[in-house]
Chain A
Amino acid sequence: MEGIVSTMGATATGRLELESDERLVQRARSGEYEAFEHLFDRHRILVYRFAYQMVGRRDDAEDMVQEAFVRAYQNLHRYRDEAKFTTWLLRIVTNLCTDQARMSQRRSNLEQKEAAGALDWMTIGMTNDPVQNLEDERRKAALRSALNALPAHHRTMIVLRDLEEREYPEIAKIIGCTIGGAKLRVLRARRALRDRIAPLLAQ
């Protein structure tokens, strides 16, 4: 009996895995919480990566993931099928990050600075050369600091285009502008970041 139940459960799970995002949203709307959990499983990493790039800390990023999915659940009725679910989800996270950046920009910068300095010697490098590893980590920390010091709208563009490698049409939808507008914003953001890390590039 137990075996039959577990087989049925597995079948239902498999069925949900095959379904599109839009169908899962419909199911979740009608009260099927399991469908929403499937959406969470599918897109959790995407949201987490974006959030981490925006806030630069794992625990903050996880809080952001939670808040984003709770908001998504609350506002499922507002989701329209004409946009991709991931686009809609990223729009929620973008707004969350912008709000959060407004509230705690100063605190975040200070903590980031401290954390970056403290972790320099503890980090395990990518190569076997410890000097090279240290150098990479220093560069990485400097880059991360520069990215976090950017205004939220610039940071969003760098993360979406250069770190998460989203296409311009999708970025335009997430931000709510034209494709040309998205290209221009990305260009301005890159320029702003490049100017910040100019001394680092000269080395």
Chain B
Amino acid sequence: MMRNKRDQELLRYAFGELEEGKTEALRNQAENDSELAAELKAQERFAVSLNLLKDVPEDQYSKERLRAAILERCLEPREPAKAKLGWLWMPAVAFGLTFAIMLLPNLQPKAEPMVVKDPNPMRNQMTPPVVLNRTTVVAKKPEPQMTQAAKPNALAFGTAPVQASQKRNRKSYATLVASRSGERTAAPAATQSADPAVKQPVKQTTKPESDPVVLPASNDEPIVIIGALPDAPGRATETEAVTGVLVGG
């Protein structure tokens, strides 16, 4: 540490950067110390030898060369505003992307509202046609009687569409409406609801009311054939007995 400090002082002395008092003290000390005197001399020689490097040959660079270089690169002094905008595109692009991603679900094409008309003229007079659009809940709240009748074996007429519609999320709504409208054109007359108060599920209208609907069942469970009663809407009736099949009314 001391040696380092001493070396530092010697260098500063050689380059004339040491304080006046310290310089005098060092000179006095060197008069009595030959080793220190030799060291001081070497340091001075080092400082002086650097003066040899101060001479520099004359340059031959000209204004014309500089002008040519600047013109060659087609340079113009750049505006500070432009230079500062260099990094701004990044947050702008990020914001734009986020905005686009947020808007994407809303950009899906909206389906035409579907008008379901009851084939019974009397009912049409009493109740206005049901309009199915995006906000209409289709058979979300089924008739309590119907639910009670259908839930035990999960085969009741009209429960499957209700469950399906509950499972579907909002994104698949367009697909659902499209499939429903396709079914509607295939069987336009079969849109009568079991209950006028309940909005008619589309699946329910694919078969005529009088026809029994046979749904697949496992081997262990009895098959129930159910037909809807025209005068008792929403009520399930077993219509026929077959071997291995439970029939009732």
Contact = CB atoms under 8 A, between A and B. Distances in A.
Interface stretch (B66-74, B107-115, B152-160, B227-235): B66-74
B95 interface: no
Interface string A10-34: 0000000000000000001101010
Interface in A46-103: 48-49, 52-53, 58, 61-62, 65-66, 69-70, 73-78
Chain A, interface size: which category?
Answer: 35 or more
Interface majority SS on B: helix, strand, loop or mixed? helix
Given A37-B63, A187-B8, A52 B46 contact: no
Chain B, interface size: which category?
Answer: 20 to 34
Centre residue among A41, A75, A76, A190 by max chain B CB count within 10 A: A190
B59 interface: yes
Contact of B52 (A37, A44, A61, A136): A136
Contacts of B52: 136, 139-140, 143
Given A158-B50, A197-B46, A29 B77 contact: yes
B8 A143 contact: no
A159 B47 CA distance: 13
B11 interface: yes
A53 B56 contact: yes
B45 to A, nearest CB: 6
Interface of A: 28-29, 31, 33, 37, 40-41, 44-45, 48-49, 52-53, 58, 61-62, 65-66, 69-70, 73-78, 136, 139-140, 143-144, 147, 158, 162-163, 187, 190-191, 193-194, 197, 200-202
12 contacts: A29-B77, A45-B59, A48-B56, A49-B56, A53-B56, A62-B61, A66-B66, A143-B49, A143-B50, A143-B53, A190-B46, A193-B46
